[in-house]
Amino acid sequence: MLTEEMKQEIESYILDHCPNRRGACIEAMMIVQRHRGWLSDQSMRDLAGFLEMSPDELDGVATFYNHLFRKPVGRHVIWICDSVTCWVMGYEAMLEYVQTRLGIKLGETTPDGRFTLLPIQCLGACHHAPAFMIDNDLHEDLTPQRFDEILADYK
Domain spans in the chain, listed from the N-terminal domain onward: 4-62, 76-151
Q: What integer pLDDT is reported at residue 42 of this predicted model?
A: 97
Q: How far apart are CA 125 and CA 87, in angstroms?
A: 13
pLDDT at residue 33 tops 90? yes
Across the chain, what does the average pLDDT equal? 95
pTM of the model: 0.85
pLDDT at residue 155 tops 90? no
User: In whole angstroms, how large is the CA radius of gyration of the chain?
Assistant: 18
- Domain 4-62 listed as CATH 1.10.1060: no
Q: What integer pLDDT is reported at residue 103 of this predicted model?
A: 98
Q: Could you give the percent of the chain with pLDDT greater than 90?
A: 94
Query: What pLDDT, in 10s, does the model give residues 102-121?
Result: 999 999 999 999 999 999 99
Count of helices and strands (H, E) across the chain = 7, 4
pLDDT at residue 19 tops 90? no
Q: How far apart are CA 48 and CA 95, in angstroms?
A: 37
Q: How confident is the model at residue 75 (pLDDT cuts 50, 70, 90)?
A: very high
Task: With beta carbons less than 8 A apart as the criterion, state whether 115 and 153 touch.
Answer: no
Q: How confident is the model at residue 15 (pLDDT cuts 50, 70, 90)?
A: confident
- What's the gap between Cα 29 and its chain centre? 12
The CATH homologous superfamily for domain 76-151 is Glutaredoxin (3.40.30.10)
